[in-house]
Amino acid sequence: MAYTLKRRVSYKASAASLSHNLPAIFTKSGLLISHLRYLYSNRGKSPSWMERNTFAVELLLKFIERQVSNFSSATELLRAFVEALQFGTIQDGQDSSGLFWSTRRNEDVNVLLHHITDYCDYLDTVYGTDLPKLNPLRKATHAEERLQWCAYYRRHSRSFLNHLANPSRQQFSVVRMIRGPERHLVDIEAVYRFPENRIEDLLLHGFVFPSGEPDYASQLIVMLMHFGGLRLSECFHIYVHDVHLDQKSGSALISVFHPSDGQSPDERFCKRNEYLATKYRLNPRNEYSRSHRLYAGWKGPLLTNRNLSFDVMFYPASKAVEFTLVLQKYLATKPSSESPFLFVNSKGNPESKKNFYQKHNRAVRRIGLEPSKSLGTTPHAHRHSYGYRLSQGGFSQLEIQKAMHHKSPESCLVYLKPSDDEVRRQMRDTH
């Protein structure tokens, strides 16, 4: 019986290389070794990218198992696969394929198709041209070529190193035979922000232990997000060594380093991945699988220091002093830990995202609110509040980009544009 299974395996490219924990696909014929080698060649990418790529290949294999005899060419099979993703496989309550797939969003279909195409290009490169091409190139029409040039210039106009790019006309003269559905252009109305008038309640009355003692660690994490603009995952990459004190003002000075390539706090080691592995037998937290309790993502923020870090900018600036006061209380009661991370749980182990989410939900309910993205009461809403507060404070687009560590100045536009309600209010006021 045909089957497709995903399991995690330890993979070494050679006897001298390091082992890597990667997702692997097994079929009735055994391990799909070509895909495992493909993931290894992309080992610098995030765990979520690897999981999504593996999922895409799994779906294609399942489709092939059910459909391969119905198509005369690999390209036609891929076309049918894309249609099955987009429209589903169920019609009138029946599904002759036995897949029972529901419809998917156009954006999701395009991401899955991109993963499949990239893997197939890898197979062409490694194994030559004897294999049937799933998604070959064809000559682009004049309109398609023009659109590709427009897209290229739009992307590179926002790149810091755009002067180094040297595109050739040939690369835009071809397109893929199988293309995904058209993406919809959506103007998202607004981001959801944590209610500014309830943040002090959350900090003072929300984060308390059952004993009644304050949960200083959670208070600090919220302050880093709400008044420092950090993403939640970035908080979990901070070491105790990364926090310093401005002796004149009493303000906390906090640097967030690249989890693996950032400068080590111990000069005996070059980078943080070496420091973690040698001293603590830990990996950088973004290199664990998403299901691991130590996993914390890394969105690739704009690094502004040569040691591959960026500095937290508190707004209002007075919050940096308040952060110091809470930090002193936290460090005085912090459980002893065998890791360098600033935030640990009651057992001294590095704090996890899952555990903090639960704490945040309880804290929100404790002050009479409900945890909900649409209400702005989830952890990421604090970063949105930070960006909106900067825009209301008169900061320019480039200044907000710098404070929020975005690589593109366009990423912070969502904090500058008015919401639908604000536009309607202005229409009423000017009538």
List the domain boundaries for the chain.
4-137, 196-416
Average pLDDT score, the chain: 85
Residue 325 burial (C-beta neighbours within 10 Å; 0-12, 13-18, 19+): exposed
> Which range has the worst mean pLDDT, 32-36, 167-171, 247-251, 410-414?
167-171
Residue 149 has pLDDT above 50, yes or no: no
For range 311-339, the mean pLDDT:
96
Distance in angstroms (rounded) separating the CA atoms of residues 47 and 23: 9
What are the C-alpha distances in Å from 326 to residues 140, 163, 240, 353, 388?
60, 46, 14, 21, 25
Percent of the chain at pLDDT exceeding 90: 57
pLDDT digits (tens, 9 = 90+) for 339-393: 999 999 999 999 999 999 999 999 999 999 999 998 999 999 999 999 999 999 9
pTM, to two decimals: 0.75
What's the pLDDT band for 170 if we cut at 50, 70, 90?
Answer: low
Residue 55 has pLDDT above 70, yes or no: yes
CB 404 within 8 A of CB 412: yes
> Which range has the worst mean pLDDT, 54-63, 102-111, 174-183, 342-351?
174-183
CATH superfamily to which 196-416 belongs: Intergrase catalytic core (1.10.443.10)
Q: Which of 337, 343, 233, 358 is nearest to 288 (CA)?
A: 233
What's residue 161's pLDDT? 42
> Which range has the worst mean pLDDT, 71-80, 170-179, 282-291, 366-375?
170-179
Distance in angstroms (rounded) separating the CA atoms of residues 191 and 369: 18
> Which range has the worst mean pLDDT, 26-35, 153-162, 417-426?
153-162
pLDDT digits (tens, 9 = 90+) for 291-317: 899 999 999 899 999 999 999 999 999
Distance in angstroms (rounded) separating the CA atoms of residues 86 and 82: 6
